[in-house]
Structure formats: structure tokens, C-alpha cells
Amino acid sequence: MSIFDSPIARCEVVREMVLTDETQAECAREHDCAPGQVCPLCGYFSETSGLAETPPPIANPSH
């Protein structure tokens, strides 16, 4: 049995299930949507990406 807990929705433009825990722009790039394509899931996407812009700093353990 598999548990998939990320929010998903069916996109009729690409005819696939898409993740809605990313931004709309990220989804459009991932699915090769044309510039200016009207997204049928507008308003369902996260406003910010879950990906960090920069990696977190590496902690140096004290000796």
C-alpha cells in the first residue's frame, strides 16, 4: 500500500494529476504549458515554493 500525502488535482489542460504544493509557475514549467496559458487550477497552488532559494548552512560541530 502506498500513501501519497501531497495535495494533487487533475489538470484538464495537460490531462494529468499535478502537485498543488508548488507554485503555479513551477507546475507550468514542469508540464511545458505555453506562455499565457490560462490555468484551470488557478488559485489552488501554493503562493511560495517549498524549495529553498539557497541551501541551509552546514553546521560546524564545536570541539
Q: Where are the domains of the chain?
A: 1-49
> Across the chain, what does the average pLDDT equal?
84
> Environment class of residue 54 by beta-carbon count within 10 Å: exposed (0-12), middle (13-18) or buried (19+)?
exposed
pLDDT for position 50: 64
In the block, residue with C-alpha cell 560546524: 60
pLDDT for position 2: 65
pLDDT digits (tens, 9 = 90+) for 35-58: 999 999 999 998 887 655 555 667
pLDDT for position 57: 67
What is the pTM (predicted TM-score) of this model? Answer: 0.68
pLDDT for position 15: 96
Distance CA 2, CA 15 (A): 22
